[in-house]
A and B are shown apart, each in its own frame.
Chain A
Amino acid sequence: MRGLGFQRFIGHLCLLPLGFLIILLMRFRGRYKLKHHRELRRRFKEVAASGDPILICPNHLTLIDSVILLWAFGSIPWYLFHYRGFAWNIPAVENVKTKLSWRIITYISKCVLIDRLGGAEHRNQIFSIIRQCLRRGDIFTIFPEGTRSRSGSVQVDDVAYGVGRIIQGVPGTKVLCVYMRGDQQDAYSAFPKKGERFDISLEVITPSSANKGLRAVRDYSRQVIEKLKEMEDRYYSRIGD
């Protein structure tokens, strides 16, 4: 945890250049736009202000989903004074290990790297870090599908149970379910198309279960993924597809 404290400190120090880099990538290189941006930030601030352990669980379609969400949820000045709101993230190590620059950027942007082929011990170590962070009030982003959706839509049966394990270890965790989709995003991809306009909806749930052990883990995970599926269905009925 001391290592994470140092990482958090360095990340906070680097927030200004990192924040401008994010804005540069989002607004000028990607020319991305967000629908209802102001309302989105207001809603996120409201959720973050609750002080509860918060796990952000978005659907997953591109490699930069978590960066888009950081941009969507707060401005640089807001993150500067509410650094807790700049959520931790757990990208797969294979996506960043090849380039030193990526490793540096992930370090200063509060990322804990996970090896998806790592054994149970490695996974448990990562879950333990996340649970400790949540207990001390940090916000964490984890993609319940575990990887970008190969079908382009939320697959209830493909839920990774890591999210359930984390919730089980931190009773009372609030899950901020996030459904995000660009207007031109038909399937999964590395990056969104240039000029993409994102529709983002948020919903907070507190998963619960009458079961214990692994059955409870499964219940928590399913409640999260089913909520995302419900949000996806609402998205499609809203846009009339």
Chain B
Amino acid sequence: MEKMEEQQVFDKVVEVLTPYARDKEALASVSLESDLLKGLQVNSSRLVDIVLDFEDKFDIEIADEEADQVTTVGAAVSLILAKQA
């Protein structure tokens, strides 16, 4: 898969998060610092689904321990970029 730029990854990450984010206002002003649980109000039960969606969308594999690090949009983007490097 072709390596994506940070902005492309960010856009795709937001696309994945959109159906899970309960705070649509926070989603409208989403940034790398946005916290998934407290900011976007993602249900913590859905984090596994989100990580698996990242795996499918970016064709990568994310280990359990790495999944725990995905707490902000920026953390997700960094992890995906690192996986694609």
- For residue A109, give the distance in angstroms from its CB to the closest CB of chain B: 25
- For residue B14, give the distance in angstroms from its CB to the closest CB of chain A: 21
B71 touches A146 (CB 8 A): no
Known A214-B62, A214-B64: A119·B48 in contact at CB below 8 Å: no
Complex Cα–Cα for A121 and B71 (A): 12
Interface string of A206-233 (1 = CB under 8 A from B): 0000000111011000000000000000
- State the interface size on chain A (CB cutoff 8 A): 17
A214 touches B67 (CB 8 A): yes
Complex Cα–Cα for A119 and B71 (A): 9
A215 touches B52 (CB 8 A): yes
B49 contacts A by Cβ under 8 Å: yes
CB-CB under 8 A from A116, the residues of chain B are 44
A213 touches B64 (CB 8 A): yes
A160 touches B45 (CB 8 A): yes
Complex Cα–Cα for A217 and B46 (A): 12
CB-CB under 8 A from B73, the residues of chain A are none
- For residue B72, give the distance in angstroms from its CB to the closest CB of chain A: 12
**How many residue pairs bridge A and B at CB < 8 Å?**
33
The prevalent SS among residues of B at the interface is helix
CB-CB under 8 A from A161, the residues of chain B are 45, 47-48
CB-CB under 8 A from B49, the residues of chain A are 218
CB-CB under 8 A from B64, the residues of chain A are 213-214, 217
A146 in complex: contacting residue of B45, B62, B63, CB < 8 Å = B45
Complex Cα–Cα for A158 and B51 (A): 16
- State the interface size on chain B (CB cutoff 8 A): 17
B48 touches A218 (CB 8 A): yes
CB-CB under 8 A from B62, the residues of chain A are 214
A217 in complex: contacting residue of B48, B61, B63, CB < 8 Å = B48
Known A119-B71, A120-B68, A120-B71: A214·B44 in contact at CB below 8 Å: no
Complex Cα–Cα for A158 and B20 (A): 12
Complex Cα–Cα for A51 and B52 (A): 34
B interface residue numbers (CB < 8 A to A): 37, 43-45, 47-49, 51-52, 61-64, 67-69, 71
A interface residue numbers (CB < 8 A to B): 116-117, 119-121, 124, 146, 158-161, 164, 213-215, 217-218
**24 interchain pairs, CB-CB under 8 A:** A116-B44, A117-B37, A119-B71, A120-B71, A146-B45, A158-B45, A159-B45, A160-B44, A160-B45, A161-B47, A161-B48, A164-B48, A213-B61, A213-B63, A213-B64, A214-B48, A214-B51, A214-B52, A214-B62, A214-B64, A215-B52, A218-B48, A218-B49, A218-B52
